[in-house]
Structure 1
């Protein structure tokens, strides 16, 4: 896994994304046949290991679980039904769990013609990315205020992706990933409760059966 200083492999992303909306197309280039929203697991905030599925909260809130579902909206609906929100839980923010991510990338690998030539982008919000930038590593920009470290690697390295310092390895999943052949595109963000993927209908159908909660969406779905 190595940092990239020339950004020709990423130029198509900035040219394709819809910078004016908060739809799937703001995060994933709207050039794919199908799209999927993977909902990050809902984890307890009381220190327990308890987890919930979005569908459970939606059912308790008397809501349909649709592609544009928002956690804030579910909480409000739940509170209306029950008088308050007493579940002491929130969605995992920023990335999938390691087991979920491994399952996702295993399925992506089977739909990748260039598994040894994939790209990942890590946001400058991470201090280690900012440190690399301060040391002279250039970052590529999307829009007026989003900067990323671009890394080229094998898709099989994603399970160990991250940054090592002082003998400690910090696992950090990418904000964006795509293969050289552009068969798919994966995106999330440090402040998002979902991971979004664009690809062929065959790929998205294979991802739906994974060990996580997901909803098919379109490029125009608000997230």
Structure 2
């Protein structure tokens, strides 16, 4: 998991990323035969005992059972339609004050994590990723530059957005004032070195074999997160033969994989991974979920 001193390993991605935001290809490379969307797990909890507040049943403090839950289960609970372009905010029902979305059975729901595929789902996906590359022992991981504490003890990156649909810099920015490069997780020579510059996003690159994500040992070795208890999955991952690419965009609640039809089919059929095939050019914005659009 050594940092790459040169960012040239990621140059192949640059012509495949759109400069204008039309669809997912502002962050996901074009040109693969097929794509899959891996849905990050949501969560829900349920009170064992309740009290009443303004007519609503509230969980009693300390008396909550929590569990990870898939999007299909959320859709079922709220009578919604699960499909490849589903947006999580359209799956749940109206929010109850101080609680959030609650289904008819009393389960309260929380949103999936953005930009991070949990280690169990990543390991399950890695089984198929490694089976569909000739170079499972060689690859590259990209980590977004803006995570707190990565470049310095007080470092961060400001995100900027524009409204006209042309976004030459919809991510990226500058570090916190008075930040000292190298006082964070990455040494100064890495922080001051090359980064992969894609439209609106910059990444530190690491020499990582895709197969390392099959086992939990990577949680203790990755130089880009603070501890195994708060891991960060790759924002970008590809093998040396470039047969596929995995993208966990920082603002997406799902991970996109581009690759062969066989790979995408394997991901979509694995019950350990909630994934569906999507088309090139898929729109993953919130209003693309027409099947669950609220009635006017």
TM-based fold match above 0.5: yes
| Cα offsets for 1:88-114 (capped at 9, x unmatched) | 322233322211111111111111111
Q: Which of 252, 275, 279 is matched with 1:214 structurally?
A: 275
Which structure 1 residue ranges, 5 or more long, are not aligned?
none
Distance in 2, Cα, partners of 1:165 & 1:101: 16
Q: TM-score, normalised by structure 2?
A: 0.65
Higher helix share: 1
Distance 1:150 1:57, change over 3 A: same
Alignment of 1:126 with 2:143, yes or no, is no
User: Which range is displaced more, 87-96 or 184-193?
Assistant: 87-96
Equivalent in the alignment of 1:92: 113
**Alpha-carbon distance, 1:8 to partner:** 1.9
Equivalent residue runs for 1:104-183 within 5 Å: 104-131=125-152, 132=182, 135-137=188-190, 138=193, 139-143=195-199, 145-158=200-213, 159=215, 160=218, 162-163=222-223, 171-183=231-243
Equivalent in the alignment of 2:86: 69
SS at match of 2:111: strand
Equivalent in the alignment of 1:12: 12
SS at match of 2:101: coil
**Alpha-carbon distance, 1:219 to partner:** 1.8
**Alpha-carbon distance, 1:66 to partner:** 2.0
Distance 1:16 1:49, change over 3 A: same
How many residue pairs get matched? 216
Distance in 2, Cα, partners of 1:57 & 1:171: 25
Equivalent in the alignment of 2:73: 56
Distance 1:5 1:49, change over 3 A: same
Q: TM-score, normalised by structure 1?
A: 0.85
The structure whose RCO (Cα within 8 Å, separation 6+) is larger is: 1
SS at match of 2:234: coil
**Alpha-carbon distance, 1:134 to partner:** 7.2
Equivalent in the alignment of 2:54: none
Distance in 1, Cα, partners of 2:101 & 2:211: 41
Distance 1:65 1:130, change over 3 A: same
Which structure 2 residue ranges, 5 or more long, are not aligned?
47-63, 103-107, 153-181, 285-296
Equivalent in the alignment of 1:32: 32
Q: Which of 79, 85, 97 is matched with 2:94 structurally?
A: 79
**Alpha-carbon distance, 1:21 to partner:** 2.2
**Alpha-carbon distance, 1:50 to partner:** 1.9
Provide the alpha-carbon RMSD of the alignment.
2.5
| Cα offsets for 1:132-154 (capped at 9, x unmatched) | 577132222112x4111011122
Structure whose alpha-carbon radius of gyration is higher: 2
